[in-house]
């Protein structure tokens, strides 16, 4: 067999090429939108692409699966429950696909997303047992996938994790991420083993109730442009530009500069609506980072833009994205709302009901998707 893990440093994603050296048939799992790298590898190795898998509908990066499958005449595979607006082969739990002598056994491992699959790789000349499992975002190294990305379920995640951890110790684990927003505490290694995770993954050691409590507590903010990226991967829209791909340098200014801004400046608070409601810079407009791409028309191009978040990380990425989109006069506020508050500057607190209303409004994609089925 041939096996290669391809790491995308920018997004913290891992994709995989698996092939039979006997039949020269190949499969690619969770390809990034930069598909040239797979084309080159397939050509160099004289492999024919048979299958392209997305382990789930990604929400943090635009998938290259459809493009690759179309270019190579390969079969696009997702779990049968995937709600997308394009045709694909719907996989069932326990089903096996073959690549020459290799067998790819599909397990449905929902939790991070309802349609999540894991792929067990079996190479019968070597062993009748799986030697590796590609876990997508179900089991990550030192972590599991977050269940709050739309349709996820912590209880299902617990069942899926328990099932995966019943595999033999020696099974090598190759996840869909080594860093990035899909988990909260990934170790950073790009692979692990079932035995190691069973012993040392902090979530694997928890009983059901503490596990559920741990997954639903302190949920991090939704990632940059998740709304546009998820809708693109479902085939509802085509917004591949919603991914941050350039390393634009952005000026960071302190809160005094924010206070001394010109009257026409726009202050963009990119935190979640509930964070905004709990206190924001007076006059700041709420536009969560998750929705920047889908609401970009609301951000004026001819006025200075100050992006602000809680501590300055999210706003920096939003400002980079706006620069990527051609905004010239955009800065990020260093230290964010926390620094503003610490210096005793005025804070506006919203009514909690208004915040709830805004959450519902900003959730347009999920609402649209749920009303649509194939
Ligand atoms: Fe994910």
Distance 354 CA to ligand 1 centre (A): 30
- Sequence-distant (6+) residues with CB within 8 A of 240 are 33, 62, 232
What is the arithmetic mean of pLDDT over 171-191? Answer: 90
* CB neighbourhood size of 360 (10 A): 10
Q: Which two tokens stand for residue 303?
A: 């006025």
Distance 340 CA to ligand 1 centre (A): 33
User: Is the pLDDT assigned to residue 258 strictly greater than 80?
Assistant: yes
* CA dist list (Å): 373 to 57, 87, 235, 355: 14, 12, 12, 30
Per-residue model confidence as pLDDT tens digits over 2-16: 999 999 988 899 999
Distance 197 CA to ligand 1 centre (A): 19
Residue with tokens 């326990």: 94
* CA dist list (Å): 250 to 246, 301, 321, 322, 328: 12, 16, 10, 10, 10
Question: Among all residues, which ones are annotated catalytic?
Answer: 309
Distance 189 CA to ligand 1 centre (A): 17
User: Is the pLDDT assigned to residue 195 strictly greater than 90?
Assistant: yes
pTM comes to 0.89
pLDDT of residue 366: 35
Per-residue model confidence as pLDDT tens digits over 327-370: 999 999 999 999 999 999 999 998 655 544 443 333 333 333 32
Distance 343 CA to ligand 1 centre (A): 38
Distance 283 CA to ligand 1 centre (A): 34
From first CA to last CA, the distance across the chain in angstroms is 36
Distance 8 CA to ligand 1 centre (A): 14
What is the arithmetic mean of pLDDT over 159-180? Answer: 96
Give the separation between CA 250 and CA 302, rounded to whole angstroms.
17
Distance 66 CA to ligand 1 centre (A): 17
What is the arithmetic mean of pLDDT over 190-202? Answer: 96
Query: Per DSSP, which regions of 197-260 are E strands?
Result: 251-253
**Long-range contacts, 38-45 (Cβ 8 Å, 24+):** 38/6, 38/64, 38/68, 39/71, 41/4, 41/17, 42/17, 42/72, 45/2, 45/19
* CA dist list (Å): 17 to 52, 92, 131: 9, 21, 16
Domains and CATH numbers, the chain: 2-216 (3.60.15.10), 227-367 (3.40.250.10)
| Number of residues written out for the chain | 374
Neighbours of ion ligand 1 (CB under 5 A): 137, 182
Distance 180 CA to ligand 1 centre (A): 9
* CB neighbourhood size of 125 (10 A): 8
Q: Is 242 left (phi over 0), alpha (psi -120 to 50) or beta?
A: alpha
């Amino acid at each position: 067999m041939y096996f290669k893990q391809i790491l995308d440093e920018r997004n913290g994603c891992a994709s995989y090429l698996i092939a039979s050296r006997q039949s020269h048939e190949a499969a690619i799992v969770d390809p990034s939108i930069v598909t040239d790298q797979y084309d080159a590898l397939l050509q160099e190795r004289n492999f024919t692409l048979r299958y392209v898998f997305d382990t789930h509908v990604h929400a943090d990066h635009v998938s290259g699966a459809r493009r690759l499958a179309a270019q190579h005449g390969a079969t696009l595979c997702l779990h049968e429950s995937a709600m997308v607006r394009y045709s694909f082969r719907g996989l069932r739990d326990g089903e096996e696909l073959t690549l020459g002598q290799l067998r790819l056994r599909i397990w449905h491992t929902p939790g991070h997303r309802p349609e999540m699959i894991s792929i067990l790789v079996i190479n019968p000349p070597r062993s009748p047992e799986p030697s590796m499992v590609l876990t997508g975002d179900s089991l990550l190294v030192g972590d599991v996938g977050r269940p709050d990305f739309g349709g996820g379920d912590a209880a299902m995640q617990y069942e899926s994790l328990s099932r995966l951890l019943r595999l033999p110790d020696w099974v090598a684990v190759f996840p869909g991420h080594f860093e990035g927003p899909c988990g909260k505490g990934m170790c950073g290694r790009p692979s692990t083993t079932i035995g190691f995770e069973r012993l040392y993954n902090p979530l694997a050691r928890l009983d059901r109730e503490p596990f559920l409590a741990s997954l639903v507590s302190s949920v991090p903010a939704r990632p940059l442009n998740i709304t546009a990226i998820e809708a693109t991967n479902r085939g509802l829209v085509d917004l591949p530009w919603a991914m941050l791909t350039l390393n634009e340098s952005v000026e960071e200014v302190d809160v005094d500069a924010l206070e001394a801004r010109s009257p026409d400046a726009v202050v963009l608070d990119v935190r979640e609506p509930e964070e905004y409601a709990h206190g924001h810079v007076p006059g700041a407009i709420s536009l969560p980072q998750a929705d920047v791409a889908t609401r970009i028309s609301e951000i004026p191009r001819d006025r200075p833009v100050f992006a602000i978040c809680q501590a300055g990380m999210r706003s920096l990425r939003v400002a980079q994205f706006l620069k990527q989109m051609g905004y010239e006069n955009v800065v990020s506020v260093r230290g964010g709302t926390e620094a503003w508050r610490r210096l005793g500057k005025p804070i506006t607190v919203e009514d909690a009901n208004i915040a709830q209303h805004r959450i519902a409004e900003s959730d347009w994609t999920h609402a649209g998707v749920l009303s649509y089925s194939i």
